[in-house]
Structure 1
Amino acid sequence: MNFGSISSTSLLLAFIVYNVAFLVFVLAQVGKKWKGREPQSHERAWGRAGFGLAVVGFLCQLVYFFTRWAEGGHIPTSNMYEFMTFLSMMVIAAFLIIHLIYKTSVLGMFAMPVGIIIIAYAAVFPSEVQPLIPALSSVWLKIHVTTAALGEAFFAVGFAGGLMYLLRTVDYRSGEPSDRKERRGVEVTLFVIVTLVAFVSSIFIFNSAGYRAEFAQQSIVTDKSGAEQTVTQKVEYVLPPIFAPANAETVTMTPFLGMSKPLLTAPSWMEGVNAGRKLNTVVWSLIGGALLYGLLRLIARKPLGAVVSPLLQSLDPEDLDEIGYRAIAIGYPIFTLGALIFAMIWAQEAWGRFWGWDPKEVWALVTWLFYAAYLHLRLGRGWLGKKSAWLSVIGFIIVMFTLVGVNLIIAGLHSYSGV
């Protein structure tokens, strides 16, 4: 049996079905204003259809997960491609659980895109099944990664609930300074989402066009005896090199818009794995995000939040607030076990220490402390409504920086996950 073909086909089917489910959830809200439609019955019928499609997509992704496991002989969470596809599956699972509790179809408009974007982001990385490195050959790989991803998935649903609450309650007609400040905050959040979409899209576009640039970079490494030596490493770019690696020579470069050589060189103080390429990726993401956001604003002729907000006016803000809080309350203890306790046990087994201030470890701790503060402020200080919603949005931005930004910008013991 060709497990590789089955797994890739199943993931593609899941991605397609998730997109259709998202469109159905959108129609469940937009269609309430159609003539001759009874709003509640329309939303209920289309919401059930969207939920059913989400379940079908989830089942397809389960087939992908287990067939890839059979193909590789180990749980498929050992690199960024596998982890991100697993995280997307957990996001959909968390959404299905919260949907069954609250029966709110509009949540699909916000939760489904999170899962879809994460799958698309996973496709940026090599999809070949790779053998486990020694540090990953442990049962704690299964326990640590799966529980951490599930906790983060509930944070994603909490983010969706918080963003929905803000879009529902922020006044887009008021001229008060406080309201203008809130509108700017919502737009910044939407810009971050658009930037991530632009980043994934740009990788797909240049990959499909066959764009390549290759550099030979000289760097100084220290061997086991402590002696330093100069080595030459090959660095490949998929995006046109605005920033070339420091101390590197161009081997080959596909011209792009008349650009036949890099515009700039990455600063020499930027050390780490592929630092120049990571800086180039960040700059391209910001450029793409600004262009895509500007195009959407030009089409809509208004802030993006003002486009979405009218679709949520029939919802009870207290229900949205409760959805966001409940998802985070479920995810926090799971994340605590997976990202901290089980991670430290695995670190002791793999590297001989429970804690080493690796960048990924530090940002996992930052995430845990932030959500601890969220729960304390909500339960102990009564931070409900907008305060709670803003914290849930900021918290998930921290999660995404931990998952995406740390791999793009900072090198550490977890750098293998970006290979």
Structure 2
Amino acid sequence: MGAALLCAAEHSFSRYGSQRGGIANMCGRLGLALTVLGALLHTGSLVLRGIAGGRVPWGNMYEYLSAVGLLAVIGWLYVVWKHRVRRLSVFVLLPVALLLFLAGNQLYTEVGPLQPALRSYWIAIHVAAAIMASSVFLLSGVLSGLHLLSTKPRRPVSARLPPADHLDRVAYRTGVFGFATLTFAIVTGAVWAEQAWGRYWGWDPKETFAFVSWICYAAYLHARSTAGWRGRNAAWINVAGMVAVLFNLFFVNLVAVGLHSYAGV
């Protein structure tokens, strides 16, 4: 959260002269350094939790969200390094901070053994892929939301965002990676389901909304490469896909009744 506030300071200072621009740059570098430090500490906490439980550190809903938040931050650090979009950090890190706040304050669970249904090597493959896909789609969806803002020139924030085509390009590239990861997660989940329940697919709520998310992102990638749908139309589909992922992450895991569940929720 502190890193996000420092990046916000950079975002504000960047409107003024060279002297204040130097202050903004210093705040941005400090915010980035704190983000890296936070990611390292977060990684250490997950590793220690896994060692304490003698298992992978994503055996319940709290741990799952914690891992999603960590990978979202690591993914964003890579995007910042690759595409030089550090000033957008406040927009990306704030939702991640809220996600981690919710996980730590509402869903925290003490370390314990896995549920019998989760005691399989597939949890290190299928669930890890699902975590990766969720974190990447969070980044891609936020970037598409910023793309939509950047195409509204009358809005004050749009003048301080990178060009719309740059945001669109970064959102698309992260979306491609997320789509490939989600596809892998669905395929490995089907294999695990056949071993655990004797069928590959049963339209369980989790499976159903994973498929809905997959359709949304397939539509986004198709729209992004289709004339007349590029830009804002494709961005709206990407945002809808992020909403589907969040719905699957929270409503299906915490409210809907199905075979997919986490211990300690």
TM-score (norm 2): 0.92
| Structure 1 match to 2:6 | 24
Structural RMSD (CA): 1.9
Contact 1:166 1:386 in 2 (8 A): yes
Equivalent of residue 319 in structure 1, options 158, 163, 166: 166
| Structure 2 match to 1:167 | 149
Contact 2:153 2:159 in 1 (8 A): no
3-state secondary structure, aligned to 2:86: coil
Give structure 1 stretches of 5+ with no counterpart. Answer: 1-18, 173-305
Structure 1 stretches of 4+ with a deviation exceeding 6 A read: none
Contact 1:159 1:396 in 2 (8 A): yes
Q: 1:86-165 alignment to 2 at 5 Å?
A: 86-123=67-104, 124-165=106-147
Give structure 2 stretches of 5+ with no counterpart. Answer: none
Residue 34 of structure 2 aligns with an amino acid whose one-letter code is L
How far apart, CA to CA, are the structure 2 residues paired with 1:34 and 1:84? Answer: 38
| Structure 2 match to 1:355 | 201
How many angstroms does 1:159 deviate by? 1.2
How many angstroms does 1:156 deviate by? 0.9
How many angstroms does 1:378 deviate by? 1.0
Contact 1:164 1:312 in 2 (8 A): no
How far apart, CA to CA, are the structure 1 residues paired with 2:11 and 2:27? Answer: 9
Q: Deviations over 1:104-127 (max 9, x none)?
A: 112211211122111112121242
How many angstroms does 1:417 deviate by? 4.8
Q: 1:225-304 alignment to 2 at 5 Å?
A: none
Matched positions, count: 264
How many angstroms does 1:382 deviate by? 5.2
Specify which structure has the higher proportion of strand.
1
3-state secondary structure, aligned to 1:343: helix
TM-score (norm 1): 0.60
How far apart, CA to CA, are the structure 2 residues paired with 1:47 and 1:312? Answer: 19
How far apart, CA to CA, are the structure 2 residues paired with 1:389 and 1:42? Answer: 33
3-state secondary structure, aligned to 1:28: helix
How far apart, CA to CA, are the structure 2 residues paired with 1:108 and 1:314? Answer: 11
How many angstroms does 1:320 deviate by? 1.2
How far apart, CA to CA, are the structure 2 residues paired with 1:382 and 1:334? Answer: 27
Give the share of equivalent positions with the same residue, in percent: 33
Specify which structure has the higher proportion of helix.
2
Q: Deviations over 1:156-184 (max 9, x none)?
A: 11112111112222254xxxxxxxxxxxx
Matched, 1:411 2:254: no
Contact 1:58 1:93 in 2 (8 A): yes
